[in-house]
A and B are shown apart, each in its own frame.
Chain A
Amino acid sequence: MTSVSLQGKAARPEAPKMNGSSVPWNKKTKQSKTLSDHIADGLIAILVVAIILVVLYPLWFIVIASFSDPTKVAIGEVLTLPKGTNFTGYTKIFADSRIWTGYKNTLIYAFAGTALNMVVTLPAAFALSRSEFKPRRIIMFLFTFTMFFGGGLIPSYLLYKQIGILNSMWVFILPGAVSVYNLIIARSFFETSIPEELHDAAQIDGMSYIGYFVRIVLPLSSAIIAVIALYYFVGHWNDYFTGLIYIRDASKQPLQNVLQSILLANQTNSNSAGMTAVAAQRFAEQIKYGVIIVSTLPLLVMYPFLQKYFNKGVMIGAIKG
């Protein structure tokens, strides 16, 4: 008797509901912890706390720097709390109405783009993970080659112009449809984490490749789907270059480009002399920190929703006795 069933659509094996703990070895056997376990726990706790502190402090610094007087930040007076608190950085950022168009555009491009990414990348990764598919070697080689060699900016620009995607939403979505890096990672996951025996069973039952992929592989791959979706989404979110080169209308610019132009509007380069140089510089520093917060917050809010896909344990072929 096993706990796996393949009635109709593959039912995703349920991890037995234990007391909120996700640590595997505590699931079934309720052994009491030995001394070495406690020591291990203690060591781990110390390490984790140390890591959190080391990571957390600079992050905290960014938050308080975005509220502080930039002069005080520069001379090192800002350590644990904001000094000379003011919201000028943020008012300058949000006073610019383009920021809301920026947010809107980025959300559209990121979601639409990621959707296309997943639809194109995952099936391809699956197909290329099939060892019996002989052309996969040459295809992978040709794909990997493009990670290193490219024609550069100008040929790409001319191409986009010719197919008419310049200065439109599609330039954010189409050219980047496949990231070979993500493809390789997804392919590697399919190769190693889905046991071939499942395919045997599926074949015996007359399932085609597509059927197998959709009904069995995908449901079991929630972890890698979440990771690749995250990578693609963040790639779209942080993309500054596409908007810079290929977009003319300010109304189509995504968030990163809007933020950069706000930052630049408050900066001068070292060739600009005069008191404007000194004056503008001061707020540019503060805006720099604020920009990070503004552009990252949505991502941070989104992440916990994806996290649960990484933490679920997968039980394939659980056996008893």
Chain B
Amino acid sequence: MFINKTWLDKLGLKMPTTWDELTKVLTAFKTQDPNGNGKADEVPFNMRRIDTTGFSLWNPFVLLNSLGITTSFAGTSPSFQGIYVKDGKVGNFLESDEYKSVVKYLHSLMEQGLIPADALTREDSAITADTVSDGKTAKSGMIVGWATTDFEKLQDQYVALPSLKATASTPDSEVTWDASQDLTELSNHAIAVSKNAPNKEAVYKVVNALYSEKVSIQQYYGDIPEDVTSSDNSTYTVNDRCFDSSTKDPCKATADRFAGWIPDSATIKNDKASEALREADSAYTKAFANVDETKDVMPIYVRPDVDDQTTITNNNTAVLNYALTKTATWIQKGGVDADWDAYVKKLDSVGLTQNVKLWQKYYDEYTKN
């Protein structure tokens, strides 16, 4: 989560540590014109809409972490379908009271106009437009995003917001944060060579070259010397313009996934993207200390077998279809308390309980050792 520090300072506010404090801050953003342009055009919480297929990256339910449920939203990890683990027990947060609390909170924000009324239908491009704005006047107070680089030219105004406590009485040990790092470390983007390739020797030479240090750097960051300056002792300095998204002459690099290997011995300087990430990460060290990597997160190596996976998927289509629609309606219009019991019953009848049981089975199996 990222919040506009410049606005906080301008309005003389401290970084919020609980949900109530956050509400107060957001209200101040809305009413006191912190971007100073005389218009009430601030978007206090620039929330992304809820997906129709599951919980994708950057959805607002990272707030579940404020209540002790550790999420893991990168990619298609089980968090996507609502599965979570706490102290070795698998559950689905869709039917949890914590979920109810988050929904109520979000609705209260929407009611007070702190989330745009059409947040649940706005397309990505509109959300990005409010995040990036025109590069001069900031529009968003808070977002759930990747790094301060999301804000492009305005990134200096924003800092990471450490995980909040739901209420002032929530014990510190209950506050966790989204733990997705496994997924991005162990991705399956690599090179495969067909066993029928004619010139295997030549192919292997190419693959070797790709994985060599210099070529890997160039894949990931850009050409040497135009984009990256190489000096002795494996030190590389990346050109500023590689991180300027509005430049007409971008660096030719993959910047995200590549078939290569950058050894730890190489020093990369001016890697603004990584630096931004590290900076964002550092805000959550305290929260991460409360996360046990095996007991509170579904490890990446837990994989249901084919038939059970099919059952899980089919159940999920019905479960998520129903749950997400209800969730969106509750956030928009309220009423979660009244509907809750019927909602949970319906979820169980379309396969939610069965899914949880299946995941528990595989979790136990894979974490036995």
Direct chain A–B contact by Cβ atoms under 8 Å:
yes
> Residues of A at under 8 Å CB distance from B?
70-75, 88, 268, 270-282, 285
Q: Which of A71, A273, A276, A281 contacts B57 (CB 8 A)?
A: A273
Contact A281 B149 (CB under 8 A): no
Q: Which of A70, A72, A273 contacts B256 (CB 8 A)?
A: A273
Contact A274 B255 (CB under 8 A): yes
Q: Which of B299-336 contact A (CB under 8 A)?
A: none
Given contacts A271-B75, A275-B149, contact A281 B256 (CB under 8 A): no
Give the CA-CA distance A88 to B248 in the complex, in Å: 8
Closest to A282 in B: B245
Chain B, interface size category, equals 20 to 34
Contact A275 B57 (CB under 8 A): no
Q: Which of A71, A88, A280 contacts B134 (CB 8 A)?
A: A71
**Residue among A270, A280, A281 with the highest chain B CB neighbour number at 10 A:** A270
Chain B residues with Cβ below 8 Å from A272 are 256-257
> Residues of B at under 8 Å CB distance from A?
56-57, 74-75, 123-126, 128-134, 146-147, 149-150, 152, 184, 243, 245-246, 248, 250, 255-257, 273, 276
Give the CA-CA distance A272 to B147 in the complex, in Å: 13
Chain A residues with Cβ below 8 Å from B150 are 275, 278
Given pairs A274-B273, A282-B245, A282-B246, 13 additional interface contacts (CB within 8 A): A71-B133, A74-B125, A74-B126, A75-B129, A271-B74, A271-B75, A275-B147, A275-B152, A275-B276, A277-B146, A278-B128, A278-B152, A279-B245
Give the CA-CA distance A270 to B56 in the complex, in Å: 8
Chain B residues with Cβ below 8 Å from A270 are 56-57, 124
Chain B residues with Cβ below 8 Å from A276 are 255-256
Which 5 pairs show the lowest CB-CB distances between chains A and B?
Answer: A279-B245, A74-B125, A275-B149, A74-B129, A75-B129
Give the CA-CA distance A279 to B242 in the complex, in Å: 11
Give the CA-CA distance A309 to B360 in the complex, in Å: 70
Give the CA-CA distance A275 to B74 in the complex, in Å: 16
Chain A residues with Cβ below 8 Å from B134 are 71
Give the CA-CA distance A52 to B134 in the complex, in Å: 35
Give the CA-CA distance A88 to B246 in the complex, in Å: 11
Chain B residues with Cβ below 8 Å from A279 are 152, 245-246, 250
Contact A271 B57 (CB under 8 A): yes
